[in-house]
Amino acid sequence: MKAVSLVINGKQSEATIEPRLNLVDFLRDHCELTATHIGCEHGVCGACTVLIDGVPARSCITFTVAADRAAITTLEGFAGDPAMNTLREAFAEHHGLQCGFCTPGMLMTARDIVTRFPDADEKRIRMELAGNLCRCTGYVGIVKAIQDALVKLKAAPALPQAVRGIGPAGSHPPAVHKERGAAPALSGRAMAAASTENFDVVDWAAIEREGVELQQSFVVPFPRADVWRFFADLGHVTRCMPGARLTTPVQGGRAEGEVTVKLGPIVSAFQGVLDVARDDAAFRGTVRGAGRDSRSPSSARAIIRYSIDAPDVSSSQVGVTVKFLLSGPLAQFSRGGLVKDIADQLTRVFARNLEARLSGKPLQDHQAQTLDAGAVARSALWARIRSFFMRT
C-alpha cells in the first residue's frame, strides 16, 4: 500500500492505495466522481480523459501513485467555467452526443482545444479530437459544436488564464502550454534554447527512480575497437536511427538535436539537449537527453547507457539500457507493451544500419525524416504473429 496526496477539483485528497490502482478507478470508486467514464481501458478511446496539471491525459492508463502531488481536474471540476458552459450548450444545440458515453472525454478535449487554439479551423479540431472515439455521431455535430463555441468565446470577454501546477505527471515548462490570453508557445530555435537553459536543473534522480526501463542487446561482426570508435561520433550514431538528427555538433560533451515521431494522428518534434560521457577504458558510455515537443506540451527526458563487449576478436556485443519519462499528451503512450514492441523493432533497424555504416555500405533501412512509431509497432506485431505460427 502507498500513501498519495492529490488536489482533485481544487480539494485536497489523501488516501492509502494499492500501487497498481488506475487513476480512473480511484476517481470513480474512491472519490465518487463518475463523470469520468471507463471505456477501452487501453488509452485508446479517450472516454476517461482528465486534466493532470492542466494537461489532458488518459486516466485509465495512469497509475494513481504516478499522479501523487499533482492537480487533477475532472468534468465535475468545471462547474461555472465559461468555456465549458459554452461547450455544453453548443453540444446540445448541434446534437454533438447520442448515447453520451464518450461525451465527458469529448468535452474535456474540446475545452483544451478552445483554450489553446482560439483560431482553430475544422482540420485542427479534427486532428485534436483524433484521440477521442465516438461510435454514434460521426463527429459532425461535435466539430460544429466546437466551431460554434469558438465563435461565441471570441465575442465574450477574455477567459481567465488557468493556474497550472508543475507535478510529476503532465508537468511542463510554464511558457509552453497556455490558455487564451497567455503568451504564445515557444517554437523552433527558441524551444531548443529554452531546453538548453533548463537542462542543468532536470531531476535526473527522478528518472532513475521512476523512469520506464528498456534493455536491448545485439551483436555486430566488427571488432570492439571499431564499434567503440564509431560510437564516439554522435552524428554517425543518430543517422542510424529514423527520425533523429543532430542540429549542432558535440562541443564540451554537449550537443543539440531533434527527434520527429509519428504515433497515429500525433506528430511530435522533440528538440533538446544531449549530454555525452564516455569511459574509453571500460568501453562504456552515458547519454542524457531532455527535450520538448515544439507542437504540444509534451516533454521527454532519458538516460541512455551503452556498453561494447567483445565475445571474440572479430565481433562486438552492444548493450543498451534506457530509462525515460514522458509528460504531457504523449505520456499516455508509455505503456510497457507498446513501448517494448517499438524498442525491439527499432533495435533491429539500428543494428542493421550500424552494420551497414561500419561496412561502408548504404543504409539498409532508409533514414526517414519522421519515425513512424505506429508503423514500427505494427511491424513488430506482425513479426510476433509470424513467429507464433512458425512455432505451431
- Identify whether residues 282 and 164 lie together within a single domain: no
- Identify whether residues 339 and 375 lie together within a single domain: yes
- Identify whether residues 147 and 192 lie together within a single domain: no
Determine the pLDDT at residue 250.
85
Last residue of a domain, one of 138, 162, 183: 183
Determine the pLDDT at residue 162.
45
What's the number of domains the chain is made of? 2
CATH at residue 55: 3.10.20.30
DSSP SS3 for 237: helix
Grid cell of 76 as nine digits: 465535475
Q: In angstroms, what CA-CA distances link 16 with 5, 65, 164, 359?
A: 9, 10, 25, 57
Domain range for 68: 1-170+179-183
- Identify whether residues 16 and 118 lie together within a single domain: yes
- Amino acid making up residue 334: S
- Identify whether residues 120 and 161 lie together within a single domain: yes
- Identify whether residues 364 and 216 lie together within a single domain: yes
Contact 172, 57 (CB under 8 A): no
Place of cell 506482425: 382
Answer yes or no: pTM beyond 0.85: no
- Identify whether residues 222 and 268 lie together within a single domain: yes
- Identify whether residues 226 and 333 lie together within a single domain: yes
Determine the pLDDT at residue 185.
40
- Identify whether residues 153 and 274 lie together within a single domain: no
Task: State which residues of the chain have pLDDT below 70.
Answer: 157-198, 262-268, 295-297, 328-345, 363-392
Grid cell of 129 as nine digits: 479530437
The DSSP code sequence of 212-275 is EEEEEEEEESS-HHHHHHHHT-HHHHHTTSTTEEEEEEEETTEEEEEEEEEETTEEEEEEEEEE
Question: What is the rounded distance in angstroms from the CA atom of residue 358 to the CA atom of residue 237?
Answer: 11
Determine the pLDDT at residue 165.
43
Q: List, for residues 245-265, the tens digit of each pLDDT value.
A: 888 888 888 888 888 776 655
CATH at residue 325: 3.30.530.20
Last residue of a domain, one of 153, 183, 213: 183
Determine the pLDDT at residue 31.
94
Last residue of a domain, one of 125, 152, 183: 183
Grid cell of 189 as nine digits: 530555435
- Identify whether residues 233 and 325 lie together within a single domain: yes
Q: In angstroms, what CA-CA distances link 241 with 14, 108, 278, 345, 371?
A: 44, 36, 20, 11, 8
Question: What is the rounded distance in angstroms from the CA atom of residue 275 to the CA atom of residue 87?
Answer: 45
Q: In what order do the strands lie in the sheet with 49-52?
A: 11-17, 2-8, 71-73, 49-52, 55-58
Grid cell of 143 as nine digits: 466539430
Determine the pLDDT at residue 374.
55
DSSP SS3 for 191: helix
